[in-house]
């Protein structure tokens, strides 16, 4: 029996010395939860702005030089869904540079699928539409009706901004396009 006691005492002394010299130990814990019925899907939200005549991507809409009173220019474009999600989008405009008086004198008229939806200054363009499987076709007119001689030989640069956000909320899943425009006036007499 004393041999068994000696073995137990030896084991306890050895274990105590080993643990006191090791300082710390590492232990890993893990837990796994399984919940049935969940699914995750990845999708896309994207659209493009294209020419209506050949479906090429549009980089500039108006590049109009020498517009005079009673003159106008027009362009056609197509908003085409490229992603899987249907969503609404906004169509706005903002001056980027140029003469304020000339930019304010330009009148923008916008037709969507053969219906006039806006006529007014560049600064007030604000249209909402929907991207779906069928494209939106737009015809945009830029005209000058003001005969004021102070508007001759002026420039107006502005962007048309097209933006979509998932569920119409800012931040997060979105797509946005800025399309440049440049219109200059010509010379005329009153």
d(CA 143, CA 137): 20
In a domain, 174, yes or no: yes
In a domain, 15, yes or no: no
What is the per-residue pLDDT across 19-59, written as a single tens digit (0 to 9) for each? 666 666 566 667 777 778 777 776 777 788 888 889 898 88
In a domain, 154, yes or no: yes
In a domain, 32, yes or no: no
In a domain, 39, yes or no: no
CATH of the domain at 82: 2.60.40
In a domain, 23, yes or no: no
In a domain, 175, yes or no: yes
Q: Are strands 60-67 and 174-185 parallel, antiparallel or unpaired?
A: parallel
d(CA 161, CA 49): 11
What's the whole-model pTM score? 0.73
Tally of structural domains, the chain? 1
What is the per-residue pLDDT across 89-143, written as a single tens digit (0 to 9) for each? 888 999 999 999 999 999 999 998 889 999 999 999 999 888 777 888 999 999 9
DSSP string spanning 102-159? Answer: HHHHEEEEEEETTEEEEEE-GGG-EEEEEE-SSPEEEEEEEEE----GGGTT-EEEEE
- Where b means 16+ CB within 10 Å and e means fewer, 115-137 reads eeebeeebbebeeebebeeebbb
Where in the sequence is the domain holding 122, given as residue range(s)?
A: 47-185
In a domain, 2, yes or no: no
């Amino acid at each position: 029996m004393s041999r068994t006691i000696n073995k137990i005492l030896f084991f306890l002394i050895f274990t105590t010395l080993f643990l006191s010299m090791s300082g710390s130990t590492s232990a890993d814990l893990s837990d796994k939860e399984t919940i049935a019925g969940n699914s995750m899907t990845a999708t896309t939200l994207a659209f493009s702005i294209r020419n209506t005549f050949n479906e090429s991507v549009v980089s500039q809409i108006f590049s109009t030089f020498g517009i005079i009173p009673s003159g106008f220019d027009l362009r056609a474009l197509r908003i085409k869904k490229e992603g899987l999600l249907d969503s609404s989008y906004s169509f706005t405009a903002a001056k980027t540079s140029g003469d304020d008086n000339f930019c304010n004198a330009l009148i923008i008229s916008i037709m969507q699928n053969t219906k006039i939806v806006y006529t007014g200054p560049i600064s007030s363009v604000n249209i909402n539409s929907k991207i779906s499987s069928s494209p939106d076709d737009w015809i945009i007119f830029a005209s000058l009706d003001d005969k004021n001689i102070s508007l001759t030989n002026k420039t107006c640069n502005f962007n048309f901004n097209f933006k979509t956000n998932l569920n119409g909320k800012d931040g997060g899943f979105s797509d946005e396009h800025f399309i440049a425009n440049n219109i200059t006036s010509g010379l005329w007499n009153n």
